[in-house]
Amino acid sequence: MAEFQINGTTLFYEVLGDQNGKETIAFFNGVMASTSSWSLLTPIFEKLGFRIILHDFKGQLKSGKPDGPYTFDEHCAEAKALFEQLGVKKLHLVGTSYGGEAAMKFAVFYPEMVKTITVIDSVSECDPVVEGLVLGWKILCDTGDGVKFFNAMTPSIYGPEFIEKNREMLAGRAQALKDNPNNYLEGQKILYDTFVNDVYMTDRLCEIKCPALIICGDRDLLKPVKFSQIIADNIPDSEFIILPNCGHVSIFEKPNELQSVISGFVLKHSELLK
């Protein structure tokens, strides 16, 4: 665990796996998440000998929260600076939701650094329903009550089967936000504004030339399958997978399936099999 200073802001990051690995993979968080959210997916890449980079975007739990709104351009430039600080010249990118949107922007802005991108439960444009849900979360943030916030937004991001089977775990996650650690809710409000104002990029997806894997849960209410279809249709070299009985948070709901499909996709385009 470490901190990286850029433009007066502190970014929290972690480096796992083989520090001298031939291949590097970075994971970009969903908006409500932190580096620990990838704990069910990173082990397979540790076994395969990858160097793994995780970080919180500014505004997220463990990083600084300067005044916003931000832009995805800023997130990408800051991630690029972190990668360069760590000596990375080329890497695989995996992002979920907000992180998937940042990954697509990164592949547009810095194609020379990207071997592959995996985009999970993301969008390249918005509609009134998505925008309304996200702006509703801002109102929940204004209550200052992390438990109410988490419980109220849970049905819009987790699938019904997952909620039914994991009520105790979800209650624990809600309690973890009880004291609004590190001004978490204030950071969330800034990130929601960033998403609503700056997520539009469908017209630029054709500029992504690296192989892309697009994944979406079939029961994703927040960012439905139609948005992933738009992404897959507009990135020239893309593969598209729909996960059955899965809501928006695939990385928690279907980690075994994701380990299989993402590791296979990344290995196919890596130096490890040559």
The residues, ordered by sequence, that sit 6+ positions from 171 with a Cβ below 8 Å of its Cβ are: none
Distance separating alpha carbons of residues 76 and 63, to the nearest angstrom: 15
Mean pLDDT score, 241-264: 97
Distance separating alpha carbons of residues 234 and 218, to the nearest angstrom: 20
Q: Which residue has the tokens 């849900």?
A: 133
Tens of pLDDT, residues 185-239: 999 999 999 999 999 999 999 999 999 999 999 999 999 999 999 999 999 999 9
Q: What pLDDT is attached to residue 178?
A: 85
Instruction: With a cut of 80, say whether residue 37 has pLDDT above it.
Output: yes
Give yes or no for a contact between 134 and 157, defined as CB atoms under 8 angstroms apart.
Answer: no
Q: What pLDDT is attached to residue 32?
A: 94
Instruction: With a cut of 90, say whether residue 252 has pLDDT above it.
Output: yes
Instruction: With a cut of 80, say whether residue 256 has pLDDT above it.
Output: yes
| Strand order across the 51-55 sheet | 2-6, 9-17, 51-55, 24-28, 91-96, 114-120, 212-217, 238-243
Q: How many CB atoms lie within 10 A of CB 273?
A: 7
Q: For the chain, which domains are there?
A: 2-126+198-268 (3.40.50.1820)
Tens of pLDDT, residues 54-69: 999 999 999 999 998 8
pLDDT exceeding 70 applies to what percent of the chain?
A: 100
- Residue 259 to residues 44, 81, 91, 248, 252: CA-CA distances in angstroms? 7, 28, 18, 17, 11
Prediction pTM value: 0.96
